[in-house]
A and B are shown apart, each in its own frame.
Chain A
Amino acid sequence: MALLQISEPGQAPDPHQRRIAVGIDLGTTHSLVAAVRHGVAECLPDAQGRVLLPSVVRYLDGQKRQVGYEARAHQAEDAADTVASAKRLMGRRLADLKDAAQLPYRFVDQPGMVAVDTRQGLKTAVEVSAEILATLRQRAEDTFDDDIFGAVVTVPAYFDDAQRQATKDAAQLAGLNVLRLINEPTAAAVAYGLDHGSEGLYAVYDLGGGTFDVSLLRLAKGVFEVVATGGDAALGGDDFDHRLAAWALQQSGRSAVSAMDKGALQMAARRARETLTDHATTMLHCPLDDGDLRIELTREQLETLTQPLVERTLAALRKVVRDARVQRGEVLGVVMVGGATRMPAVRRAVAEFFGADGPSRVLTDLNPDEVVALGAAIQAHALAGNAQDDQLLLLDVIPLSLGIETMGGLVERIVERNTTIPVAKAQEFTTYQDGQTAMAIHVVQGERELVADCRSLARFELRGIPPMAAGVARIRVSFQIDADGLLSVSALETVSGVMASVVVKPSYGLADDQVAQMLRDGFAHASEDMQLRALREARVDADRLLLATQSALRSDGELLSAAQRQDIESLMATLREVVAGDNHDAINAAVEALAQGTEEFAAARMNRGIRQALAGRSIQDV
């Protein structure tokens, strides 16, 4: 198809060149950016040739910030103002943090999400993550010497709606156009599966710095279907380090009280743990306020200390295998993701779990630090319309059940976990009092029976129900979850037609206008002229839509009547005219007009596409 495209006068000869899409793995300890170049996904290095960016942001006096290695170098001495592992704070309240006391930060609890009090004021994980994402965006722009069209950002499969929304907000704050949020294990499977041309049932075991995920996927002809997913959003390599640090203190009969000590010890523990991957013994060495701490440590000791953590990951594996209703032996291979899976004890435990009664292989040939970013890059490349063959499709699931609160603080589930997205589900409820004219709707996420044990996502009210006897009103609550796994909810009283709806946003409430405000404030790209940027983005959108429409007219134009075709062509002409000008609002309006004007055409094309797919299949079958 691409060969047949003839460019319009005045357009760049190859518009694909401009559509640079990246995959970003926003990790707890490290983040990476990758892109498909010359047909191959690769991680983009910084000026020093390093692909990993430590997920650490240090807030200095004034408005200065350090991100990455520079920040991490000062982490021990400036622990309270150097935020690491911000991912664990994403969409969380202070009460959600089990290990808050061990962390060196001045936490301030806020409705919706905890913040860290720094020299530069309160910072939420969204803002910290935005710094990291903006740094990676800059790296990609420097690499290509061009703007980034869009990004696929990965999240742990087990992230709930609040955590996903927070991640998307952070990306927007960093000036990224989010093409899609995808789950980390799914991204790893894409990177792995496309590399190896695998088919069948695979598991992804992803033990990152701060999260643990496990997913089962079925791979067939470029379709990656997530069958079941699970994990523990608060378990990762960091926890292994915590255990080790606590043990070292206990052994030496000392205590690390200052923030600096806590930070230093945590880092020393990580170094020791990493060394024990290739060595039988090591020295855990850490300078503390009251003198150096030195303790000899063997791999066996490490494994005994952290065995309960490994066991927790195996419990999650068991649960996912049961959820998927498959036998362990059906799993053909296990993709290992995350630096913590380098630990021999982890590899051994996973191999034993699957190996006993099946042909499973533990797959470690792709770099466990990079595999997620590589998969995200491949998906970004495809979503941007650059992929040569159209065979990649991800069918992901919702990781946690969604429901609403009913009488007595109980949860009525509306969408069960592991349901393929996008999905819409509706359920009817009724009033319990005579003459009730309003209904409070409380949306929750989780597997427990009691509302108190689930995560509260949103509350809204349906008002103006006409007074009726109890039980007569019919209130239809509809959940819709889009392909990013993000939720919107609406409620409709079907007798009277009264309606209310809410797009579920975490209640820490980075509303769109707040994000816009922060962008205006120059966050993350202070030097950039926002007007110019908006214009450039509007033009890219316009070019995209014009190209897509043109190609649709060429391939399916006969679906339109002459009048319909003329309408579309005149909308295109209008858009071409305004694109030549420099009013981005006018361009956006013309884009929207053309988009609306082609909606029916798009529906007709899709119907035909499906009919053709049907016809193709019945020929094969006969």
Chain B
Amino acid sequence: MNIDDDDFTLFALPERFAVDLAQLDRRWRELQTEVHPDRFAAQGAAAQRIAMQWSVRVNQAYQRLKDPLKRAAYLCERRGAPVNAERNTAMPREFLMQQMAWREALDEAQDAAAMQALDARVAAQEQALLGRLQASFDEHNDVAAAAEQLRALMFVARFRQDVEQRLDALES
């Protein structure tokens, strides 16, 4: 076990998209119980420094494995097909059309109920996309397809963030 080991090795998980989240959480608590700086509070500055590095590394891996989009990007990178989301924004036409329809619906939504209804529709779409993404990684081993599905999911996530911000604005 090394600080430079990949996230999956660190968390003793098979390297694939589908992750047992309960196991991931348990493992995270276990690892932090070992490495957190508070564990070494009585052991001087050197131990604190190393504990901090480990603790940061464990949190980094945990956050990457826990979030499906970050996990997918990490897998794409490890399998030689980095997503390059900033540079590669080409998306299928029908997906872009759907995005525009959602944007219009959001602009027209007057109250929280309408926004939540829209968000629920988008969330369902997101779930379907996640299912396809998992199949691309774990069943078909098709990284190119996975990368494209991931880019679509990033659009969806950004849209859902916007919905959330609008909801926040309504409340404050």
Interfacial chain A residues near B16, Cβ < 8 Å: none
- Determine the distance from Cα of A383 to Cα of B38 in the docked complex, in whole angstroms: 6
Q: Is the CB of B46 within 8 A of A480?
A: no
Partner of B42, one of A220, A384, A592, A609: A384
Q: Is the CB of B63 within 8 A of A419?
A: yes
Smallest CB separation, A69 vs chain B (Å): 34
Q: Is the CB of A602 within 8 A of B56?
A: no
* Central interface residue in B37, B44, B56, by most chain A CB within 10 Å: B44
Query: Which residue on chain A has the smallest CB distance to residue B54?
Result: A606
Interfacial chain A residues near B40, Cβ < 8 Å: 602
- Determine the distance from Cα of A598 to Cα of B50 in the docked complex, in whole angstroms: 11
- Determine the distance from Cα of A618 to Cα of B1 in the docked complex, in whole angstroms: 14
- Determine the distance from Cα of A117 to Cα of B106 in the docked complex, in whole angstroms: 52
Q: Which A residues between 409 and 447 are near B, CB-CB below 8 angstroms? A: 419-424
* Central interface residue in B39, B40, B56, B168, by most chain A CB within 10 Å: B56
- Determine the distance from Cα of A423 to Cα of B60 in the docked complex, in whole angstroms: 7
Q: Is the CB of B1 within 8 A of A223?
A: no
A-B contact pairs, 10 of them (CB 8 A): A223-B33, A319-B168, A384-B42, A385-B41, A482-B52, A483-B52, A483-B55, A544-B44, A599-B49, A613-B30
**Cβ proximity bits A315-333 to B, threshold 8 Å, 1 near / 0 not:** 1001100100000000000
Q: Is the CB of B37 within 8 A of A483?
A: yes
**Cβ proximity bits B154-172 to A, threshold 8 Å, 1 near / 0 not:** 0000000000100110011
Smallest CB separation, A548 vs chain B (Å): 4
Whether a CB of chain A sits under 8 angstroms from the CB of B34 is yes
Query: Which residue on chain B has the smallest CB distance to residue A480?
Result: B56
Whether a CB of chain A sits under 8 angstroms from the CB of B152 is no
Interfacial chain B residues near A221, Cβ < 8 Å: 29
Query: Which residue on chain B has the smallest CB distance to residue A379?
Result: B38
List 16 extra interface pairs beyond A394-B38, A482-B37, A606-B34, CB under 8 A: A223-B29, A223-B32, A315-B171, A319-B171, A393-B33, A395-B32, A422-B59, A423-B56, A424-B60, A482-B52, A541-B44, A591-B44, A592-B45, A598-B46, A599-B46, A606-B51
- Determine the distance from Cα of A424 to Cα of B63 in the docked complex, in whole angstroms: 12
**Cβ proximity bits A3-24 to B, threshold 8 Å, 1 near / 0 not:** 0000000000000000000000
- Determine the distance from Cα of A483 to Cα of B62 in the docked complex, in whole angstroms: 17
Query: Which residue on chain B has the smallest CB distance to residue A386?
Result: B42
Partner of A382, one of B27, B38, B164, B167: B38
Whether a CB of chain B sits under 8 angstroms from the CB of A603 is yes
Whether a CB of chain A sits under 8 angstroms from the CB of B109 is no
Q: Is the CB of A595 within 8 A of B45?
A: yes
- Determine the distance from Cα of A384 to Cα of B45 in the docked complex, in whole angstroms: 14
Whether a CB of chain B sits under 8 angstroms from the CB of A611 is yes
Q: Is the CB of A383 within 8 A of B43?
A: no
A606 touching B35 in the complex, CB below 8 Å, given contacts A383-B42, A480-B56, A483-B55 = yes
Whether a CB of chain A sits under 8 angstroms from the CB of B71 is no
Q: Return the 6 tightest CB-CB contacts between A and B, nearest first.
A: A385-B42, A599-B46, A383-B41, A595-B46, A548-B43, A602-B47
Q: Is the CB of A606 within 8 A of B50?
A: yes
Size band of the interface chain B makes with A:
35 or more
- Determine the distance from Cα of A596 to Cα of B45 in the docked complex, in whole angstroms: 8
Q: Which A residues between 387 and 415 are near B, CB-CB below 8 angstroms? A: 390, 393-395
Interfacial chain B residues near A618, Cβ < 8 Å: 12
Q: Which A residues between 324 and 379 are near B, CB-CB below 8 angstroms? A: none
Whether a CB of chain A sits under 8 angstroms from the CB of B151 is no
Whether a CB of chain A sits under 8 angstroms from the CB of B2 is yes
Q: Is the CB of A603 within 8 A of B33?
A: no
Whether a CB of chain B sits under 8 angstroms from the CB of A179 is yes
**Cβ proximity bits B1-31 to A, threshold 8 Å, 1 near / 0 not:** 1100000000010000000000000010111
Interfacial chain B residues near A482, Cβ < 8 Å: 37, 52
Partner of A544, one of B12, B35, B42, B56: B42
**Cβ proximity bits A582-608 to B, threshold 8 Å, 1 near / 0 not:** 000000000110111011001100110
A614 touching B12 in the complex, CB below 8 Å, given contacts A319-B171, A383-B42, A423-B60 = yes
Residues of B within 8 A of A (CB): 1-2, 12, 27, 29-47, 49-52, 54-56, 59-60, 62-63, 164, 167-168, 171-172
Whether a CB of chain B sits under 8 angstroms from the CB of A622 is no
Partner of B36, one of A384, A483, A596: A483
Q: Is the CB of A602 within 8 A of B55?
A: no
Q: Is the CB of A607 within 8 A of B1?
A: yes
- Determine the distance from Cα of A523 to Cα of B164 in the docked complex, in whole angstroms: 49
Query: Which residue on chain B has the smallest CB distance to residue A617?
Result: B30
Q: Is the CB of A483 within 8 A of B1?
A: no
Smallest CB separation, B55 vs chain A (Å): 5
Q: Which A residues between 471 and 485 are near B, CB-CB below 8 angstroms? A: 480, 482-483
Interfacial chain B residues near A594, Cβ < 8 Å: 44
Whether a CB of chain B sits under 8 angstroms from the CB of A610 is yes
Interfacial chain A residues near B56, Cβ < 8 Å: 422-424, 480
Smallest CB separation, A551 vs chain B (Å): 9
Interfacial chain B residues near A322, Cβ < 8 Å: 164, 167
Q: Which A residues between 243 and 263 are near B, CB-CB below 8 angstroms? A: none
Whether a CB of chain B sits under 8 angstroms from the CB of A303 is no
* Central interface residue in B33, B36, B45, B52, by most chain A CB within 10 Å: B33
Q: Is the CB of B52 within 8 A of A422?
A: yes
Smallest CB separation, B16 vs chain A (Å): 18
Smallest CB separation, A596 vs chain B (Å): 6
Partner of A393, one of B39, B42, B63: B39
- Determine the distance from Cα of A295 to Cα of B31 in the docked complex, in whole angstroms: 60
Interfacial chain A residues near B60, Cβ < 8 Å: 423-424
Interfacial chain A residues near B32, Cβ < 8 Å: 223, 393, 395
- Determine the distance from Cα of A92 to Cα of B83 in the docked complex, in whole angstroms: 43
Interfacial chain B residues near A421, Cβ < 8 Å: 59
Interfacial chain A residues near B35, Cβ < 8 Å: 606, 609-610
* Central interface residue in A382, A594, A611, A614, by most chain B CB within 10 Å: A614
Whether a CB of chain B sits under 8 angstroms from the CB of A545 is yes
Interfacial chain A residues near B51, Cβ < 8 Å: 606
Smallest CB separation, B33 vs chain A (Å): 6
